Copies of this chain bind each other. A is one copy, B any other.
Amino acid sequence: MRDNNRLQELYEKFQAGDRLALARIISLVENRSEGFETILHNIFPSTGRAHRVGITGPPGAGKSTLTSHIAKMFRAAGNTIGIIAVDPTSPFTGGAILGDRIRMSDIGLDSGVFIRSMATRGSLGGLAVATNEVGDVLDAFGKNIVIMETVGVGQSELDIVAAAETTIVVLVPESGDGIQTMKAGLMEIADIFVINKADREGASQLAREVEAVLAMRESPGGWTIPVLLTMAVKAEGIKEVVEAIERHKEHLKSSRLLEAKRKDRIRKRIRDIVNQRIESLIWQNEDIKRLVDEYLADSGESPDTPYTLADMVIKRLGIE
């Protein structure tokens, strides 16, 4: 039981710019602890000011190094930065990710930069929901650039970056058979392509192939998706990426797409909240629990299947 006064105190410290309060509120949201929705409700009017950048790509593409340099350059221009580094739910890439986090730690010492690593495997409501809510928290805290970085390996991971305003897809020459590896999903979410490790063989070939595919598609809302070459470890090509983000942001504003994107995000948020609450209401209902338990107790002899049982549960709930 979290005391309401303590929550209020935490919120006041957060509003006063206390970094520890920020970290605590992020944990509250990440862990779905009691009071997290109250906090999200309270901070909501202060959101919508940060520009949200999503960065994704295959493991080993150098996303964290790139993120670190992009953050530094935005910081140098007077911005404050929030970074959410989402560990993949996959257990296979743990080691590499850990290394990345350590590499990013030098910018973490700057008080204008707040880095949060998230690994919410199995969290109620899913990774994408929690990550976007943490984005709100950083936004409301006053960070004007929020970067969400994740490995593009699964549906939920791609959902995270798809919710950003500007999404960067990072590719490397060795990440596959060039154009063969490019399926529809990736093309749909990318606002900017970055070919990292540009000194390696095949980099300019890959860039040309991506450009060729892009040329065959209609540019969404009049935005021409740039394909940029970087060498993140040497901090080369970063300026062009930051400029492309700025240009994309201006494009979204002038074309009124920014407003549409934000409304879409809010609409999705409402759906997520309602779905989560309804689900917990249903499955905590004693009547319904009993119905399911009884069915499972004599399954086999029962003429019912999960499908007829679902009908019964819905009837019991009284939703037409």
- A residues apposed to B, CB below 8 Å: 37-38, 40-41, 44-45, 57-58, 88-96, 98, 121-122, 126-127, 152-158, 175-177, 180-186, 263, 266-267, 269-271, 273-275, 277-279, 281-283, 292, 295-296, 299, 305-310, 313-314, 317-320
Contacts and interface: CB of A to CB of B under 8 A. Distances in A.
Given A95-B177, A267-B296, A278-B282, 14 more contacts: A44-B306, A89-B154, A89-B158, A89-B185, A90-B154, A91-B186, A95-B180, A96-B176, A126-B155, A127-B155, A263-B299, A270-B309, A282-B319, A318-B319
B153 A156 contact: no
Oligomeric state, in number of copies?
2
A307 B270 CA distance: 7
B92 A176 contact: yes
B154 A266 contact: no
Contacts of A44: 305-307
B310 A277 contact: yes
Given A92-B176, A185-B91, A266 B299 contact: yes
Contact of A95 (B157, B181, B266, B292): B181
Contact of A153 (B154, B175, B186, B281): B154
Contacts of A127: 155
A211 B132 CA distance: 38
Nearest to A127: B155
Contacts of A57: 92
A250 to B, nearest CB: 21
Contacts of A96: 176
A274 B279 CA distance: 9
A230 B166 CA distance: 45
A79 to B, nearest CB: 23
A87 to B, nearest CB: 9
Nearest to A121: B185
A177 B99 CA distance: 11
A119 to B, nearest CB: 8
Contacts of A156: 154-156
Most chain B CB neighbours (cut-off 10 Å) among A38, A44, A176, A183: A183
Contacts of A92: 57-58, 152-153, 175-176, 181, 186
B273 A306 contact: yes
A88 B41 CA distance: 36
